[in-house]
Structure 1
């Protein structure tokens, strides 16, 4: 066979392969569209049963029995709608769907899928188990926090929060250590959902060698109102080597709103502390809501660091009528042309705008 004939044969074979591949793709897409339309029709047929199951009626036995008895093909069409509905309901409706999934063996199948090779399959299984609040899945989901797939790690962290098992606090916190790869905000959200049962683990985590772990613990303790940890957080604010941890601790102390936090926050606004900590402490004094913070905030109005002075003025405004408002008004009237007056006027102007009024700028002094 000559070279030209060999080239022609090769090209013909390539053309045939391309044509065959095109036919396979077109056929596959056609079959997929057909199956999608068929599943949509089947799902529509059984949607009334799903709505009856989750509609709040006391008698759910009949829709539950009929949905649990569906054959595999029909259930495959209904299942996505049922899972989607699980994300939108609570109370009795959620419990009814969980009961349906239990009868269909969905939890057992999802537990098996947590060990599958495909990351999409593992993530889907973790998602379903989280939606179901399947407590028995917590240890397996904690193991997925070190999964090779970042998507699986994220879904597992979210699922642990949905389940709400307090024992998940330690593995969630550990997932942040040494660059564990689970996003900070997801860990924080899940720890919040674990509730008061996670507080002992969070308090212990304030002494963890990893700054990221200490930071999320300090943040969550404030967000969950763990007033009993205020004195421990005060120690963290005073001595933690990480500026980020101290910033989040100052924020949490303001959120806790207890009088014991006042002196520590005032001290944290001092010039010996890092700029970011001073800025957050000035804000936290406003969150704390104590009139006893007014003198310290008044002194901060003239601070050379813009954001410290700015936040002090906003905190005075948040403290409301009385001494705080008097300080702002007196600063504008008695210290015209100074940066302190500028910050005070801006804070008052914001309050006026919120009340639907417009404050006129102060008149510059005549020299």
Structure 2
């Protein structure tokens, strides 16, 4: 075969492949549109029952529940995606009724079976459904999925375990961060949903080797107001090897607001601590809201690091009359210095919050 014939054959094969691909795409789109129209037609007559199911009280749902539970398989396949979508949007009696329907249709049973599917898409979809159903029996199988080879499956399992709310899943959820691929915020949200029952696992995680696990434990303890863990968090602030974990510990202590938190945060503003920790501690003292922090914050107005001084001033602006007096004295006694500038800014913020025109800055002495 000559070179010209070879080129012609190659072009012909390429043209045929492009034509075949085009036919596949067009056919696929046509089938998709046909399936959508068919499903819309099949579900149109059922939609009133769904609306009645989620709109009635507990004594009025039996009839639509029976009607929907008795649908033949073809019609149910058309209705099921919409029913699952509704489950994530309703609460109270409406949610209870939807869960009853989906359980009766075997959705939980099928999803449990699909958790061991060879398809990662099916495993993730099954985990998603079981989370929406808050299906307690799925907790242990979902924990196994936290070591799945697919990152999306692991992330979906974390979210589902948070929705189910089994406190015993806290330790495996925390450990999922070490495997990678699961977003930090997703793990934190799941742990928050587990409630106080997760706190023993969170406290234990404060001593884990992985800094991400320690960080998420600190973050969640602060967000959930676990005041009984304040001393443990003070220990993290004092000795953790990760600056990120220590910054999160500062933030958590500011949220908890116990006396031991105040002393630790004042100490954390000192020069022995990394700048990031000092900056966050200056803010956390404002979150704490204690007038006892005023002297320490006033001293920080003259700090050499801008953000430490700036955050100290913003915290003073939140601490009421004792702080206002300290700010006014700083403006008068340190006129023309950066400390006075920070103090004046904080006073201006207080004026605006009180609905008064902001005061003019003090003149710089010549």
| Number of the residue aligned with 2:206 | 206
Give the Å deviation of 1:196: 0.2
Give the Å deviation of 1:117: 2.1
Measured against aligned partners, the alpha-carbon deviations of 1:201-226 in whole angstroms (never above 9, x if no partner) come to: 10111111111111111110010010
| Number of the residue aligned with 2:338 | 339
Give the Å deviation of 1:9: 6.9
- 2:32 paired with 1:29: no
Distance 1:10 1:133 in 2: 57
- 2:350 paired with 1:351: yes
| Number of the residue aligned with 2:295 | 295
Matches within 5 A, 1:3-22: 15=15, 18-22=18-22
- 2:312 paired with 1:312: yes
| Number of the residue aligned with 1:261 | 261
Instruction: Report the secondary structure of 1:185's partner residue.
Output: helix
Measured against aligned partners, the alpha-carbon deviations of 1:179-198 in whole angstroms (never above 9, x if no partner) come to: 53211111111101100000
Larger CA deviation: 55-64 vs 274-283: 55-64
Distance 1:6 1:277 in 2: 70
Distance 2:350 2:124 in 1: 48
| Number of the residue aligned with 2:221 | 221
Measured against aligned partners, the alpha-carbon deviations of 1:289-326 in whole angstroms (never above 9, x if no partner) come to: 11111111111111111111111111111112x20111
Distance 2:64 2:70 in 1: 10
Give the Å deviation of 1:44: 2.9
User: CA contact under 8 A between 1:145 and 1:182: conserved in structure 2?
Assistant: no
Give the Å deviation of 1:45: 2.3
TM-score (norm 1): 0.93
Larger CA deviation: 149-158 vs 242-251: 149-158
User: CA contact under 8 A between 1:285 and 1:293: conserved in structure 2?
Assistant: yes
| Number of the residue aligned with 2:92 | 91
| Number of the residue aligned with 2:324 | 325
Give the Å deviation of 1:239: 1.4
CA RMSD of aligned residues (A): 2.1
Structure 1 residues 356 and 77, CA, compared in 2 at 3 Å: closer, same or farther? Answer: farther
Larger CA deviation: 254-263 vs 41-50: 41-50
| Number of the residue aligned with 2:164 | 163
Structure 1: segments with no counterpart, 5+ residues: none
TM-score (norm 2): 0.93
User: CA contact under 8 A between 1:146 and 1:180: conserved in structure 2?
Assistant: no
Structure 1 residues 358 and 105, CA, compared in 2 at 3 Å: closer, same or farther? Answer: same
Give the Å deviation of 1:365: 2.8
Distance 1:336 1:90 in 2: 59
Instruction: Report the secondary structure of 2:98's partner residue.
Output: helix
User: CA contact under 8 A between 1:259 and 1:290: conserved in structure 2?
Assistant: no
Structure 2: segments with no counterpart, 5+ residues: none
Give the Å deviation of 1:133: 0.4
Distance 1:241 1:21 in 2: 57
Give the Å deviation of 1:7: 7.2
Measured against aligned partners, the alpha-carbon deviations of 1:112-140 in whole angstroms (never above 9, x if no partner) come to: 11121222221111111111101111122
Measured against aligned partners, the alpha-carbon deviations of 1:331-357 in whole angstroms (never above 9, x if no partner) come to: 223322111111112222233334454
- 2:155 paired with 1:154: yes
Structure 1 residues 227 and 10, CA, compared in 2 at 3 Å: closer, same or farther? Answer: closer
Distance 1:2 1:293 in 2: 90
Instruction: Report the secondary structure of 1:230's partner residue.
Output: helix
- 2:118 paired with 1:117: yes
Report the count of equivalent residues. 365
Structure 1 residues 300 and 16, CA, compared in 2 at 3 Å: closer, same or farther? Answer: closer
